[in-house]
A and B are shown apart, each in its own frame.
Chain A
Amino acid sequence: MIRKTLFLFFGIALVAASASAGDKKFVEFSSVRVTVDVGKVGLNDTVWRTAAPYNQPLQRQFLVDPKPLDVGVKEIQVQSVHDGKYIAFRLVWKDLTKNDDPKIMNFSDGVALQFPVKKDPLPEYFMGEPGKPVHILHWKAWRSADLKKGFQTVKTAYPNMTVDIYQFDYPVKGTGTEKTQAEKDIFIPGKAAGNPLSVPHKEIVEELFAEGSGTLKSTNIENTSGDAEWNKGEWIMVFRRPLTVGDHGSVQFKPGEKMPVAFAVWEGGRKESAGRKSVSPAWAEVKVEP
């Protein structure tokens, strides 16, 4: 009932802004065609000088409770390039605090790009809707630090912590020490349950799908690579992925066509997570140059 009312509410709110993708009412920016290998493009490569930056205004997430009263990041600079095989997005935003270390009440900085799986009919820009999924590329600063320093554990979070023993981790051989890692992991519930957040990954970008708020589903797909760097109060983040991928449920880009895109940013220092985030107020469109 609440959900229905909400859908009705933002359904009405979005009618003017959305309709269908073909109506061309969105703010637009270009993914510039370049000749360098975009699959390997770095954070500050000179190729980025060729792509005009687009400044996307962000606002507090305002559709689903809890809504933050205010958010830390109000604008994000977006650039995009492609080489016919790969597409990359470069995002720059101000964040005075770097939050990339998991602790009990630490929250990760992060950014996400959202694309419709199918452009027509276009799903609601906020997390999609039932039957009209969106594909989300989510970067978390925690994952960058994991890749750089090795998967951060409770021991890296609290280095001065002392623990007598863990199950099957005794200093005496033969007292369970022969158990496999999987058997030891039974005592680490998230790992035992196979939660994607609890295990290391090859890429710093998580790929997810959603059909409405609260339906976010992580996948094992790792087609998107990325780099991120925090410097002097600013995050620079690059997403790179092939224009087309084998998975039909994933977003596919075509040169000469436009793709709707939405943005979300979390500032960990403000304990932003889940719906406590900055969002773009509607779909924007990236025009993939022919």
Chain B
Amino acid sequence: MQMRKVYNWQLGRNAAYLYPQHRPKKQWAMIFDLNKCISCQTCSVACKTTWTSGKGQEYMFWNNVETKPYGGYPMGWDRGILAKLGFQEWIGDKYAGKTLFEAAEKDEKILQYLAEDDDWAHPNIGEDEVAATVNQGDWITMPHRIWMYYLPRTCAHCTYPACLSACPRKAIYKREEDGIVLIDQSRCRGYRECVRACPYKKSMFNVETRISEKCIGCYPKVEQGDMPQCVTNCIGKIRLAGFVSTPEQSRKDNPIDYLVHERKLALPLYPQFGTEPNTYYIPPIHAPLPYLEQMFGPGAGQAIAAYKAIKDDQTLKGLLVLFGSMEKRLDSFKVDADHAYGYDEKGNEVVNVPLTEPMYIREYYDKKIHVYRHNTP
């Protein structure tokens, strides 16, 4: 297969892709703070009731939350492709290994791991499974010896989508205005080349319609300046959606750029796959570093150090309280001594949030309505 060279900033080098380099005007992106996810699945349900309540979509979770290291939907999606890719190396911030495009088998476009029917049958298998057994007398150390964490996932609306390059009839396209990757429902012929190729397994086959579907990035909301359903419904306030720039064009006042590029606190999911995914994760501070480096690249250690230091970092502290505080997408943000502010693309203030919640102490007995009250700090 004749491949092109495209610049992949997540790998710090040029990498193989089927089509020439082309970036959309804006790139959809989502950030997840894994230290805060409690796997309540409100995001999964918000997505499901909005987009996948129809016949043939029963098993589809365009958004899912799985427990790492053992959980996964479809089962074993990441272990499967990692095992096929084999041991690869980073040298500093530069990826020295092969991407999935570069490791493609003979006569294939991309290295693939196929999930079978049964693998799709258990949306939350491995839930709350920990990585080791608890021994008598165990105590907690950092990182935890016995650990697990939750990994919420959507389509990564990759800059170099595997699904798009795999489709033999160009039924998948990446929107110029926001980088959202969509399957044209009238053009798809259900070959499942995208289902095979997507390493994140976010293209799904609809048995009722016999064609494939995927997460649409809530584009009708994005077009209105809103954030996707999985973001605005997140009760743990772990998510933020917006547009990410390339590192050279990073804006310090863009909340996504600030976390991804300026502070490198939010890291791409399995960057080594080579698709330049646009779902970024703040790694959990309690999980072992080698595992996190495998999942998020070599920046995991530095991200954890930065996260641990947030209490002394006014800007980061402010930005993190903006997570989950508004329905509107923020174009820019500002943090002052005691508030964080978010602005839309016209510069209008969308939200302002105090860094420290004010404390209200109420009288134990409310004389007005004759009730006793507790104050729960």
List the interface of chain A (C-beta within 8 A of B). 1-2, 5, 64-69, 102-107, 142, 153-155, 157-158, 161, 163, 166-167, 187-195, 197-198, 213-216, 218, 271, 273-275
Task: Give the CA-CA distance A275 to B53 in the complex, in Å.
Answer: 32
Q: List 23 A-B contacts (CB under 8 A).
A: A65-B107, A65-B109, A66-B107, A102-B207, A105-B117, A105-B192, A106-B117, A154-B55, A154-B207, A155-B55, A157-B207, A188-B206, A189-B209, A190-B188, A190-B210, A192-B185, A195-B188, A195-B211, A197-B211, A198-B209, A198-B211, A273-B192, A274-B193
Task: Give the CA-CA distance A102 to B116 in the complex, in Å.
Answer: 13
Are B185 and A187 in contact (CB-based, < 8 A)?
no
Task: Give the CA-CA distance A21 to B271 in the complex, in Å.
Answer: 52
- B157-177: contact bitstring with A at CB < 8 Å (1 yes, 0 no)? 000000000101110000000
CB-defined contacts of A216 to chain B, threshold 8 Å: 169, 189
Min Cβ gap A109→B in Å is 15
Min Cβ gap A277→B in Å is 11
Min Cβ gap A129→B in Å is 16
- B36-80: contact bitstring with A at CB < 8 Å (1 yes, 0 no)? 000000000000000001111111000000000000000000000
B341 CB within 8 Å of chain A: no
| Interface residue range, chain B | 35 or more
Are A190 and B108 in contact (CB-based, < 8 A)?
no
B114 CB within 8 Å of chain A: yes
Are B2 and A103 in contact (CB-based, < 8 A)?
no
Task: Give the CA-CA distance A157 to B55 in the complex, in Å.
Answer: 12
Task: Choose one: A65, A102, A155, A197; the contact of B108 (CB below 8 Å).
Answer: A65
B205 CB within 8 Å of chain A: yes
Min Cβ gap B185→A in Å is 4
Task: Choose one: B115, B116, B205, B208; the contact of A153 (CB below 8 Å).
Answer: B208
B106 CB within 8 Å of chain A: yes
Nearest residue (CB) in A for B187 is A195
Min Cβ gap B118→A in Å is 9
B365 CB within 8 Å of chain A: no
Are A188 and B210 in contact (CB-based, < 8 A)?
no
Given known contacts A102-B207, A213-B168, A216-B189, A69 and B106 CB-to-CB distance under 8 angstroms: yes
Task: Give the CA-CA distance A182 to B73 in the complex, in Å.
Answer: 32
